[in-house]
Amino acid sequence: MSINRLLVIADDTERVESFVKRVIELGIEVLGYGEGYRSLLEKGYPIQPLFRPEEESRVTEGSDKTLDCASDPYFYILFRLKTESQESTPLFDMLLADFPKLGRVSSALSFPTVEEEETAPSRVALLRNVAKDFRSIATLVDETDFDWVLSSLAECGDIPLQGRRQLSLKVFSEILKFDTQTYNGFSLLFADESRKHLSLEKALLLQYGSNPHQEAYVATLSGEDHLLGHLHAVKKGNMTTRRIIDLYNGIRFVRELREPSGVYIRHGNPLWVSVTPGEAEYAGLIRVIKNETIMGGVIVINHTLNRQILEHVRRLPVELVAYNRELEAEATSLQTSSIASVYAFDLWKLSEWEYKYLDGCFIVQERDTEVRQDRFRKLKEELFDPVVERELILAFQVSKLTRSDSVVLWAGTQTAGIGAGQMLRRDAFDIALSQAKRRGLAIKETVFATDGAILDTELFTRVLNSGVRGMVLPSVTKTNQQIAALMAESRVPILLSNHRHFT
């Protein structure tokens, strides 16, 4: 093992320039990216660009369709490392970088904003991954290591194992400082008196992150994406934390669904979802709640109302009803119902960020609940009709919005059954199937949806043979030949969503 290529993504300081000059004298090829690289290039140092001109324009303009984060050069570097790990000539075998400087966080207002297009978080992600997963790459983040590293390179053309471990520890130490600074900033934001609405969302933040495997981002909390600024009490009842969380989830659910809809949520999970529900759907919901002896829960309404629908809503044995404020004129009779709490809400523009509290730290990540129609792919187009396709997409939206690994059976305009939670998908399917049967809905009237890939051949066979009118799932791994063969032979419409999934 020897050091042959150095990548420089650090600022051009006097010490960095001196280090690069000496490395070049030792015959090591130097690559660069960013302002520091351009500055060194202008000074006449023979540094090669990390990206070819056509490649750089593709990355910076975001036209490389192989990446979700194509416009971010540091994620692109990481992508290249992971896809070219078996190449005979590695992209680089030594990395010189510096950490983003957030400055001292002394108050919520002084916590620096990092805009969406800035790359500080992804630079940290690159360093974290290189130090953890690419032990063949020596990473320098501390200028005090320059002298002994240069001595080692001059002596043997490499950095010994103990020295590499020392450098990796420095990287993890800097990551810890960065994460601590970020955590302190968010702690101050949550405690800030001018942002009291966040205290009510704290219980929501303490729940398991919906997508904990995404890289964390640094951002200030949006003043728009909170509940209390958009909620108007029509009939005040006892607002427990559980009801607040259910209400918040329900409003976000109908907002993400982008369809006139009604949602019944209890203890964090939707038990019933319907698009443009009418009298029959609400009458059916009353029967379901009574037959299954369900107590409490929250109904969120984002569709037009008439007198007959309102009569059914008034009879629902729920704790809280919330409706879109645009329906205020039609919903006045709910004030005199036996339902304990009635609220009107404004549909606000959802933030592009999700805020979660996980394992002692705040995670700030891109919202991962958006469903994009252009990503879906029909396996056999001749098997599809517009009705089945629309039902499959709606069912997938509900599955993705419900909880990771959920299974949804959808019948016409509403859910027939939902199996949700951190369980095996075969168990989730059994629960959804059981609900559909108890509600008097035949399996042949439903389509099947899950937000997680099915790796269990037995389950896949069961679903195919159950009589469902269609299936939608993220994808099927190429390595599972049995499932691939079943799909190829199937006469059931199968839609591949091609959306990211995290357990």
Per-residue pLDDT tens digits for 421-457: 656 788 899 999 999 999 999 999 999 999 887 888 8
How far is CA 403 from its chain centroid?
12
CA distances to 51, 93, 226, 400, 473 from 348, rounded to whole Å, are 41, 48, 9, 20, 29
| Mean pLDDT of the residues in the chain | 78
∠ CA 148-150-154 to the nearest 5 degrees?
A: 115
CB contact at 8 A, 385 and 483: no
Quick one: which of 374, 409, 406 has its CA closest to 395?
409
* 368 has a pLDDT exceeding 90: no
Q: Residue 29: its pLDDT value, please?
A: 93
Distance CA 461, CA 463 (A): 5
Band (316; pLDDT cuts 50, 70, 90): very high
Pairing verdict, β 407-411 and 414-419: antiparallel
CB contact at 8 A, 109 and 154: no
* 39 has a pLDDT exceeding 80: yes
Distance CA 473, CA 460 (A): 11
β-partners of residue 9 are 97
Of 62-71, 151-160, 180-189, 368-377, the least confident:
62-71
Band (323; pLDDT cuts 50, 70, 90): very high
Distance CA 145, CA 168 (A): 12
Q: Residue 53: its pLDDT value, please?
A: 62
Residue 297 gets the label, from left (phi > 0), alpha (psi -120 to 50) or beta, of left
260 Cβ partners below 8 Å, 6+ apart? 275, 276, 302, 303, 304
Band (326; pLDDT cuts 50, 70, 90): very high
pTM: 0.56
Distance CA 162, CA 160 (A): 6
Distance CA 461, CA 442 (A): 18
Tokens found for residue 68: 């979700």
Tokens found for residue 491: 């006469």
Q: Phi and psi for 189 in degrees, rounded to 5?
A: -65, -40
Alpha carbon dihedral 383, 385, 387, 393, in 10-degree steps, equals 60
179 Cβ partners below 8 Å, 6+ apart? 361
All domains in the chain, ordered by first residue: 5-191 (3.40.50.1380), 228-345 (3.40.140.20), 371-496 (3.40.140.20)
Cα first-last separation, the chain: 38
In 359-437, DSSP assigns E strands to 361-366, 377-378, 407-411, 414-419
Mean local confidence (pLDDT), 246-266: 90
SS3 category, 384 = coil
Q: Residue 222: its pLDDT value, please?
A: 43
- Torsion sign, CA atoms 321, 326, 330, 336: positive
CB contact at 8 A, 215 and 121: yes
